[in-house]
Structure formats: structure tokens, C-alpha cells
Amino acid sequence: MAAPVNIIVGSHVWVEDPVLAWIDGEVFRINGQEVHVHITNGKTVVTNISKVFPKDTEAPPGGVDDMTKLSYLHEPGVLQNLATRYELNEIYTYTGNILIAVNPFQRLPHLYDTHMMEQYKGATFGELSPHVFAVADVAFRAMMNEGKSNSILVSGESGAGKTETTKMLMRYLAYLGGRSGVEGRTVEQQVLESNPVLEAFGNAKTVRNNNSSRFGKFVEIQFDKNGRISGAAIRTYLLERSRVCQISDPERNYHCFYLLCAAPPEEREKYKLGNPKSFHYLNQSNCYELDGVNDAHEYLATRRAMDVVGISEEEQEAIFRVVAAVLHLGNIEFAKGKEIDSSIIKDEESRFHLNMTAELLNCDAKGLEDAMIKRVMVTPEEVITRPLDPDSALGSRDALAKTIYSRLFDWLVNKINDSIGQDPNSKSLIGVLDIYGFESFKFNSFEQFCINFTNEKLQQHFNQHVFKMEQEEYTKEEINWSYIEFVDNQDVLDLIEKKPGGIIALLDEACMFPKSTHETFAQKLYQTFKNNKRFIKPKLSRTSFSISHYAGEVTYLADLFLDKNKDYVVAEHQDLLSASKCPFVASLFPLLPEESSKSSKFSSIGSRFKLQLQSLMETLNSTEPHYIRCVKPNNVLKPAIFENLNIIQQLRCGGVLEAIRISCAGYPTRRTFYEFLLRFGVLAPEVLEGNYDDKVACQMILDKKGLKGYQVGKTKVFLRAGQMAELDARRAEVLGNAARIIQRQIRTYIARKEFMALRKAAIQLQSQWRGKLACKLYEQMRREASAVRIQKNLRRYTARKSYLTVWSTAITLQTGLRAMTARNEFRFRKQTKAAILIQAHLRCHRAYSYYKSLQKAAIVSQCGWRRRVARRELRKLKMAARETGALKEAKDKLEKRVEELTWRLQFEKRLRTDLEEAKAQEIAKFQDALHEMQLQVEEANARVIKEQEAARKAIEEAPPVIKETPVIVQDTEKIDLLTAEVESLKALLLSESKAAEEARKASTDAEARNAELVKKLEDADRKMDQLQDSMQRLEEKLSNSESENQVLRQQALAMSPTRKAVSALPKPTIVQRTPENGNIVNGEMKVASDLTLSISNPRETESEEKPQKSLNEKQQENQDLLIRCITQNLGFSGSKPVAACVIYKCLLHWRSFEVERTSVFDRIIQTIASAIEVHDNNDVLAYWLSNSSTLLLLLQHTLKASGAASLTPQRRRATSASLFGRMSQGLRTPPQSAGISFLNGRMLGRPDDLRQVEAKYPALLFKQQLTAFLEKIYGMIRDSLKKEIAPLIGLCIQAPRTSRASLVKGRSQANAVAQQALMAHWQSIVKSLNSYLKTMKANYVPPFLVRKVFTQIFSFINVQLFNSLLLRRECCSFSNGEYVKSGLAELEQWCSYATEEYAGSAWDELKHIRQAVEFLVIHQKPKKTLNEIMKELCPVLSIQQLYRISTMYWDDKYGTHSVSSEVISSMRIMMTEASNNSVSSSFLLDDDSSIPFTVDDISKSMKQVDTDVDPPSLIRENSSFVFLLQRSE
């Protein structure tokens, strides 16, 4: 990470800061190696040029999701990127394939719900935003595809979120291959439920952390061959045993000791426990309690957790007895004995603790005492027992305590593993390693040495993996990487673990010599490693030493190294506890082989630690590793606080900066050709103008600038460290020159603009003055013109007045003459019309009278003949029915009743006809009278008006009298005559008015009588309907009686030897009559008789030739024929599906809906099921969707559950309650009765009227099965379309990334081709939609179902596009918004083409993606307020979705910014409130795959179906299906 030398004045750089770690500024002066920088806090800093790093001023405002994409891969760039993303709640960031997770210290449930898991399932690594699910998915896919086990290494200091990350990993792995565990608890739940127990016994407070894991945990999740979780195991490594006996201030021992001391009083009394301060193993530190933690509550929680993982009450009791025994054991002290180098129990208090320890462990107190103060030595000659001095006795005591606690911890782990359950047959696993991170405190002891040794080992593994990934990247891009050096830390590992001569080996050697001290050990280290560059001797200490680790230099205090490393395996301890009367304690110390139990052996914790670490590394090396580095952003554990120095330290300890160092050793900067040309194309404009390939263009730019050492791969440009800064400096120079040119042009423009404004003002002033002169001239000319106009108008008025006088006189004369001529003409026409009208009425009356007489005679003749024929038929029936004498009396009564009802029916019809005729005649008479009166009134009024007009004109035409003259008698007489005529006309008018009033009254009376007659007629109609209903019921009874008679006669014939003679009798025929006049329908008699013969004769012939075939066999044949028929594609008749109509009419005719047991329904369902097995044939699916929906509609209108309430009379008519009806339910209508049933159906009304029948269970079950198949076929069509367009949607989402590169160079032809390629994916979607629409239209699928299909498809498109927009930052850009908007326009155009009948509200389903796209392409986003965005721009989007799209937005076209920081802050506050109110915080949409309709919806939306169709050719000629030929009238 050496600083580049391309720092110039004006460069933006990062400078070290003691508070913020790094702070940005601008270089304003360079003096040799000194750089003067103005930093952003207003200060000026002078530093060496090697300590500043360039800043990428064009970095995206939201950071990059993979830090290998950073232009400058160095420490401040990484820190700034993490801070930027953390501020936007983007807590995950990649560094290559390493995931960095920054703890948000708040709930972010939208990141971990099922929607998010679904999105990451199977997604390519790096395709979506960084996430812990992506790492788990990569590990799972690698395990399934390659069959190799994988491991995920989760590291970080406590509080960084390792446990939560591990929990999410296991949740996702369970989602991918999960099955339920024992008693409904999944494997990952059981693993997580074990955490409280392991934390209580394996976690402790350290300097930095209140709950630090002091052991390594490797969770193995085992999978079977199908990728399903089959078991799990927890492997623990490197438990810090020395902590049991020795702790430093202000740390604590393991939590379980303090929990037991805070147990309920009865528990403490039982174990004789008290305040933690009274125990030696706890009072070495002054810290006894943790802030915010209640140990009493935690004790109860731990007991509950033990219950959950399956530890019984007895085992829990034994566990805490052992824990209490360890505490009492630590309080046993020793004093010098009487003998040399011997020891005894110091005092009574120590004796009390000794006895309590023995009591709790159920062992002998004397034996326990001897095991601690004596040691047995086995020699070839004899066994020697020697005493131990007090110091050795204390060592023996501590060794026993560490051994007991270590065995107890191992037992807990094994118990948890037994509870979870392991799969011994598992061939592959995914391991999750959760282990303590690198530690560097003010005072570091043996524990930190072991922990940092572990992290050095893991870092070496990590470095090898990172270097391997780098190699794979270089190999994939086919570049030369052979000379790149690998950054390794093997020298540090040799310093620590090498044999002989390593620190651990020297420590074990020192522990084996009784005279060794920490000073001698430290001096030995100084002498051995004085030339090792990784080992440093502090100047002011004689017992400390420092090691230069990968994460920095750490100084260790060697004072307690020897004591903490000693770990004797004492045979006396083993023998004592193996003989314990407590089974639990004895099980912790199983008997050892004879040879290994004879004497004590030295064992060191360091060596054991090294062996366990070696075992862990072997496990990791056998798996494919994946890395997650957890980071704690602050020490106060609160959200939105990012402490730079703390983060930098963790990045160093986590090896992230080491990985960056490895990357910098090779090619730290990598850019795709498109990105490189977009950024540095300005350095060589001629290259962009030429028609060069992208790779060639990049090569030409680099060669032009004279760079050396770079590499050009297949898709990327690889730059060495410093080359990016050099290119940026050249680019800044070019852009600076361009800026100066732009400034010059702008200044020219401003000067010219000022000159043009001055010139314009002068011209305007001149124009104003000239305009004033012109106004004066215009005023004078206007006055002259006005005078001329006044003269002209006055002369015109005088001439017009004279003309109008002459014109009025002429008009008056013409009017009088024309009026006289018109009156004469009108009078003549009126007389002629009256004569014609009288003649017409007379001729009409004469013809109508003659017609009525003929009609009456014809009806009488027809009735007489029909009565004669009916009596003849009745006599025949009586003769045929004499054998069944029991029915004779009933039939006679019915015949009489029929005759009586027939007579009453005819009487009512005649009465109704007479009433109608009388009513029509009376109405016509009144209308004629009224019309004549109205004409007379109008004539009288006209005459009066004309006479008045004539009188007025005569008066006006009389010349005026100017002088006195004698009165002429003739004029007076004329006036008198006129006056008399006027009076007579008035009288006539009065009389005519009275006549008109009388006519009006008569008309009113006639209307009243007419209303009474209408009411009577309606009553008569009602009675007529009732009589007709009664008549039809009786006819049905008669038909049933005839059918019963026929069945009984057949039975009698079967027993009678004369059945042939009887069978030769003609069959009865019942013929329908019209309700109006009782006439036979045209041709009905002939059809009926022919049909009867055609049906009955073959049956008679067959009965003569061979035995009668059973009804069930015939019924089975008909069903087989129907099934064979519907197996074929019968097509459509008009818009009606033939198969559905045929099935319905057959089932209705056979009365299959009313039987208790039948197989026809199952066979129809099986036929449909076999037809739709071909998933890819959409035509077949659409065909059966149309048929099933039509058939279901018919059933919905027809079927009624048995036992339903009252029926209407018409429906009740259709139900047969007779003996024959009951027989037909079990036997089906025989072929010879088909004609009767057919004619009976004709009598009851239209055969296709959807009359309801009482359905039995099979029919109702058939309806339910048909409903299920309809929903299945609908779902298959919808899912098939989804499957077809899903890859196209994926291409639409990825298209901007893959095709945008061709738009860089600005060539019009290339742009046109690229735009056409971009739109091809949308057009493919439209093509698929058109194809499905055409198929469904061709098969007449109901528009209601078509609308539902496309509504759900558009909802699917909305979900996929919207979720991808919010999950992929590269999609959330301005250009992509434009692209998606143009694609949505294609879909909108398709909706208008499909019309609302088929598209419905599909366009409205795209509201989320439409509003999101509008947000992306709108300009001036920083000026938008939150209210405008939420209420006007994006009212449908939730606050989580708005926040996500606002923070992920980047403008790749114009470089504009997203919404303002104030709006982002307001959104964050609203999101916090929403999460506190338990509102769903997921920003992803969920695809709805339910069935969006019910049977009632189909029934309401579809039109009534007419079932009249032409029967298929297969059954058209079959006599059993002749009923299909019937047509409704």
C-alpha cells in the first residue's frame, strides 16, 4: 500500500489523523517530500508525501459493494467505503469473495426474511448486493456440485455480531436443505439453543468485551446426498484452561462461577457458596458484576437452556456440584510440613473447603488431600511416595481444577451433540467456525499469546486462500502473474511453534525444570531470537517481549507464562475421581490403560493448544473455505456510530488489510473495458472516434500514456499500484484544459450577451419615438375616415327606409291572395279524405267478420277430429292395459280428469279470446269517436280564426274618413251582418268546445273501463297459467303411469308365452300442443311417430332374435362411447365448447346427477387428467380450461344439494317422485323408453333450460373435482407463461450492464444497434404474451380467466423487476430507469392492443415498478421533499422501499445526486418508528401464486351458455344419443 508518487497541487488526498484515523483534504503546495494539505475541518497539515494517499473524487456516493472495484485500494479508501455504506444501512461489503459485516446494533428484519432468502437462492455470487446469504449459498452450491465439504470462517471480536451471523448462516442453510428436527425443532434451532449453555461455561469478560468466547467453536452442519440437513455437531477447540485458576484485573473468570454464586439461597446453602469475593479463583480481579446483567436471572436462564438441550435435572445438579467443587478447591491453601519439602493443609478454613470439595465430588477427603500434597513415583524396583512442597501442592491443586473444568466442558459439548443428533452416513458438510479474534491489550499474558498464535495460523490459511483467489482471477483473465510475490507470515509461525527452538518449545522446556523462573525464560528468549526480525526486546523491561504479528506489534508479559502453561496429568487425580461415588464425576474420568496410569506425566497447555490448533487446521484444509469478517463499529454498542480508529484496528486484526496488501502486491486496480473507457476515454478521443474493439482501445490509451507493467485480460484492465493515480492525474489535466476552454467560451458568451442587450435597448428607444410620430399621423387619418363613414351610413339609412315601405305593401297583398287559394284547396282535400276513411272502415269490418266465422268453423272441426283420434287411442290403451287391472280405475279417473281439464282449458282460451276481441273493438270505437271529435274541434277553431282574420283585414283595408260625410245605410247593414256572423261563430265554437269536453269525458270513462278489462284479463292469464301448470303435472303423471305400465307389461311379457303378440301392439305416442290454441306443432306428429318407431322397432326385433341386454351393460356402452368421444379434440361450435356441452347434456339426460353411485364422473375426471399431462402443450391446456370452465358454469346453475328448500313450480315439475322415477335412478332409462323421455322433455319446456336438480354426493364430488382441475389448469398455464418470461425478465434486468458498453463511444450506428438489442428482450416478452393470448382466444377461454392470467403475470413482472431494482445497485441507475421505462411502454402498448376485455387491470399491477422508474428518471431529486416523494411521486411505495431506492440510486448518465441528506434522515427516522410499531420492514415484494377466483366469480362473470351444439360424428348416428339432436325453440 505504498503511496503513489502522482500527487500534484490540487489533488484530493487522505491524510492520517489521530482522531478520525484518516481525513480528506486538498494539496495546495509540494516542497520536495513535504506536502501541504488543506483538510476538510479547516486546518492545514504538513506531512511526508509517502504518508498521503489519493482520494477517488468520482467514487459513487453510496460506495461500492465490492472493494476490489475501488479505484484506490488502500486503507483510507476501504474505511471511507465502509463508512459510506454503513450510513445507508448497507452493513455487508465484499472484498473479493470475503464478506465484511458491520454490526448495525439495530433490527434490520427486511434483510433476513423469506423474500430475501428466495432472492439469493441460486443467484450467482456478486450478482446481488453483498449478503451473508450469498456466502452460504455459494458454500451450499459448491458442496452440492463438487461433493466437497465447505467451511465458513466467521471471525471478529465479541460484539461484532459473530453469533448473529452464524445464526443467519444456519437459518439460510436450513432454508435450502432444511428438514424438521426432533419434536418439531429444526437442527439450526437446536444448535442455537445450545449457545446459552456454551456461553455460560465457555465465555468470560475480557478487557474489551463482557461476553468474550474463550474457546473456538466449529459447527458442522451435515447434509445427505439430496442436500437436506441430516444432522449437526459442535466441535470445540482451544478452551482457555488457564483462566480457571488465574485471571487478570479487570477481567472475570467463566460466567458459570458467578451465576452459581447468584443462585437462589437454597442452592447456595446446599453448595456452601457465598459472595464471589470469598473465592480465590474469582477474587484475583476486582470485577464481579457486569453492567446491565443480572447473574441471578442469567442462572435461571441457563437452567432453562439446559432443559431445552436435554440435560436432565440430575445431570444439572451434578454439573453445578462440580462447578462449586472447583470454587472450593481453589480456596484450599497449604503450609510447610514437618518434613523437608512437605506440605499440609494450612488451616481449618482450608480444611473446610477440602471437605466440601470431597463431599461435592463424592470422593474420600483423605484421598483428595493425599492426591494434592503427595506424588507417587514408579521405579523398576519399587513405588516411591514423596511429599510436595506448598508451591508444588498449589500447582497440583490448580492442575486438578483445570482438568475437572476441562472435562466438564467437554462433557457438555458431547451432551449437546447427542441432543442434536449426528448423521454418520453424511458425506458432505458445511462447517461454521466461530472463534476468538486477535487480541492486543495494554497488558498481554499467556492467554493472548495462545489466541494470537491461533489467529496467525488462521491468517496464514486466509492469506493462502486470498492468494489462490487472486491466482484464479489472473488465470481466468489469462494474464501473466508468475512474478508476483506471496505475502506470508510463516516466519511468525516458525518463531512461535518451530521444534526445536520455538517459543512454545522453550516454554515447555522451562516448565520442566523446577528452578526456572520467568526471568530465566525471558533471557532465554532474548538470546535465542535476538536476530529474528519478528521478535523485539523492549528496552525498559526484563521479562517482556514483543512479536510483530500480521495485525501489529504485541507486547507480552512473561511473568505468569510458566505458571499458566503447566498442566500436569496426575495419576492420583485420575484414580481418585474415577472412584467417585457420583456416577457423573466418575464418567468425567474414565479409567485409563494400566501403563498410562502408573505415574504423573508433564503436560503443557501450550503443547496441547498447538495440537488442537493443528487438528482444527487439518479440518479447515480439508474443506473449501469462505470468510466472513465481523466488525464492531463502536464500543458503546449503539447504532449509527462509526468509530474509524476502532474499525481500522479490527480490519487489521481480521486480516482484511492483509488481504488488501496481497492484492496490492499484484494488480490492486481492475476495471472492465467499459468502465476504463468511460473514465479514461478523454485521454485519447481519437481512439473513441475510431471503430476499435474495446480491448484494443484500452491498450491504445495505456500505450499512449506510456504506462508499463499493466496487464490487459479478457474482460478487464489490471493496473499496478500507483498507475490509477497517474492516469487520474493525466485525466485531471485534460479535464482542467477542457474546463479552461469552457470558461473562455462562457466569458465570450457573457460579453456578447451584454453587447446584444445594449444594442437592443437602443433599437427599442428609436422604435418608441418613431411609434409616437406614427400615432399622431394615424389619429388624423382616423378622424377623416370616421367623417366619411358617418355620411355613408346616413345616406344608406334613408334609402333603406323608403325601400322597406314599398316592400311591406307588396307582401301584404300577396299574403291575402295566397291565403284564399289555400283555404279552398284545404276544404276539398278534407272532404275527400273523410270519404276514403269511411269506405276503408266498412270494407275492413266486412272482411274481419268473414275471417272470424271461418276461423271458428276450422277450430270446431279440428277439435272434433282430435277428440275422435284421442278417444280411439284411449280405447287402444285400455285394451292393452286390461292385463293390469289394478291400474284401470286410476287410469279412468285420470282420463276423466284430463278431459275435464282439457275442456276447462279450451273454455278459458275461448273466454280469453272473446275478451281480447271485445276489448279491441271497444277501444277502436272509442278511439274513432275521439278522433272525429278532435277533427271537428280543430275545424271549428280554424274557421273562427280565419273569419276573425278576414274581419280584421277588411277593417284595416277600409279607407280612413278624413272629413264628415253622411252615413251610408249599406255599410251599417254590412257591419251588422258581420257582427251577427261573428256571434254565430262564437256560439258554434262554444258548442264545439262542449262537445269536445264531453268527448274527453267519454274517453276518460273508456280508459277506466279499459283498465278494468286489462285487470280482468291479467287475472284470467294467471288462472290460465295455474291451469296449465296443473295440466302439465297431470300430463307428467300420465307419462309416468304409461312408463310404469310399459315396464310392468314387459315384465308380464317376459313371463307370458304370448309376449310376441302383445309386443306387436303399437306404442303410445304423446304429442305436444301449443299453449295458445291447442294445435299440434308443425311436423311434430310426424317426428314423434317416426322417432317412436325408430326407437321401438329395433328393440322389438332384438327381443325376438336374442335375450334382452341388461340396462347396466347398455349404460356402460354409452359411457364408453362418450369417453372415447371427449378424448378427441371436438373443437367449438360458435364460441361454445362442444365437449362440455355434450358431457353436460348426456349427464343431465342420464340423470347421473341424481344417483347415489356411478363411475361416469370418475372416468370423465380421469380423461381430463390424462389430457393435461402434457405440460408444454398450451393449446391443449387452453382447450380444457375452456371446457372445464363452461362445464363448471353449467353445473353451478344446475346442481342443487339434496334436501334443499322449496322449489318453484317450474323446477318442481322437473323432479320425478313416481315409482318409475325411483326405478330410473338405479336402472337408467332403457333404450325403448328414450322416445318417451324425449317427448316428455319436449312437453316440459325447453330441454336446455338450466333447471336445477337435486344432486347426490357423486355429482357434488364431481363438481369439486372439476373445480380443482380448473384451478390446476389455470395454474399450469400461468406458471408456464411465468417460466417462459422469467429468463427474459432476467435479461431485461441484466441488459443495461451487458449492452451499455456499446453506447460509450457515441457512434450512431452502434447506438441504434445497441438500443435495438436492448429492446429485443421486451419485445420477446410481448411476443410471449401475444402467443398465449392468441392461444386462449382460439380456444374461447372465458375473458374473465384470461384477465386473471395476465393480471397475475403482470404482477409477477412487477415483483421481479422491482425486487431486482432494489437488490442490484447497478440496476438502480438513471439509464436503467430510462431503459425499463421504455420497456414498460411496450407492455402498456400491448395492454391497449389486448383491450380491456382480455387485459383487464393488468397495467395497474405494474404500479410499484412504474413509480420506482419514475423516481429514477426524474430530474432535480435533491430539491424534492419527502412529502412530495411520498404523496405525489411514489404514493404506493413503502418508506423502506423509498429509503432503499434513494440510497442505492446512482446517475451513470449525467452524474446527478439522489435525494438530499435531510430527506434520507427523515426516511431513517420513519423506518425506525415503523420497526418499533411492528410494521413489516421488508422492502421486497412477494409474488402471489394463489388462485384469484372462486366458482361464484366464474358464475357471475360468464354468460349463460346455450348447450345446443352439433353432436360429434362418433355419436351422431347412435340411437342412444338421439337426444343430442334436439334443438331448443
**Cβ partners under 8 Å of residue 1003, min gap 6:** 926, 930
Determine the Cα–Cα distance for residues 5 and 7; give it in Å rounded to an integer: 6
Determine the Cα–Cα distance for residues 456 and 471; give it in Å rounded to an integer: 22
Annotated active-site residue in 81, 149, 165, 212 = 212
Burial class of residue 737 in the structure, from the number of CB atoms within 10 Å of its CB (0-12 exposed, 13-18 middle, 19+ buried) = exposed
853 is catalytic: no
Query: In the β-sheet with 52-54, what is the strand arrangement from edge to edge?
Result: 44-48, 34-39, 21-31, 12-17, 52-54
Annotated active-site residue in 210, 213, 455, 1188 = 213
Determine the Cα–Cα distance for residues 1454 and 1436; give it in Å rounded to an integer: 27
Cα–Cα nearest to 437, from 464, 469, 462, 411? 462
Contact between 1466 and 1426 under an 8 Å Cβ cutoff? The reply is yes
Annotated active-site residue in 157, 439, 473, 1035 = 439
Residue with cell 315601405: 805
DSSP for 274-339 reads: --GGG-TTTTTSS----TT--HHHHHHHHHHHHHHTT--HHHHHHHHHHHHHHHHHHT--EEE-SS
Alpha carbon distance, N-terminus to C-terminus of the chain = 95
Determine the Cα–Cα distance for residues 1262 and 1268; give it in Å rounded to an integer: 10
Contact between 213 and 205 under an 8 Å Cβ cutoff? The reply is no
Total residue count of the chain as it appears in this document: 1529
212 is catalytic: yes
Cα–Cα nearest to 1259, from 1105, 1144, 1108? 1144
Annotated active-site residue in 150, 158, 1158, 1198 = 158
1275 is catalytic: no
Annotated active-site residue in 216, 437, 655, 666 = 437
1134 is catalytic: no
Determine the Cα–Cα distance for residues 1344 and 1399; give it in Å rounded to an integer: 10
899 is catalytic: no
Q: Which amino acid is at 1304?
A: V
439 is catalytic: yes
Determine the Cα–Cα distance for residues 1422 and 1437; give it in Å rounded to an integer: 19
274, three cell numbers: 457465598
Residue with cell 287410469: 891
Contact between 1221 and 1040 under an 8 Å Cβ cutoff? The reply is yes
User: From the CB of residue 2, how many other CB atoms can be counted at a distance below 10 Å?
Assistant: 10
| CA distances (Å), origin 1200, targets 731, 740, 1197, 1263 | 83, 88, 8, 11
- 944-953 CB contacts, 8 Å cutoff, 24+ apart: 944/985, 944/986, 944/988, 944/989, 946/823, 947/981, 947/982, 947/985, 948/982, 949/819, 951/978, 951/982, 953/816
Cα dihedral 1118, 1123, 1129, 1133 sign: positive
159 is catalytic: yes
φ and ψ at residue 532, rounded to 5 degrees: -80, 125
**Cβ partners under 8 Å of residue 698, min gap 6:** 673, 676, 677, 712, 717
Q: Which amino acid is at 1048?
A: L
- 980-989 CB contacts, 8 Å cutoff, 24+ apart: 981/947, 982/947, 982/948, 982/951, 985/943, 985/944, 985/947, 986/944, 988/940, 988/943, 988/944, 989/940, 989/941, 989/944
209 is catalytic: yes
Annotated active-site residue in 25, 156, 159, 202 = 159
Contact between 1518 and 1302 under an 8 Å Cβ cutoff? The reply is no
Find how far residue 1166's CA is from the centre of its chain: 34
Cα–Cα nearest to 305, from 191, 182, 163? 191
**Cβ partners under 8 Å of residue 113, min gap 6:** 1482, 1484
567, three cell numbers: 498442566
φ and ψ at residue 1456, rounded to 5 degrees: -80, 170
Residue with cell 402467443: 1331
User: From the CB of residue 1501, how many other CB atoms can be counted at a distance below 10 Å?
Assistant: 16
* Active site residues per annotation: 158-159, 163, 209, 212-213, 437, 439
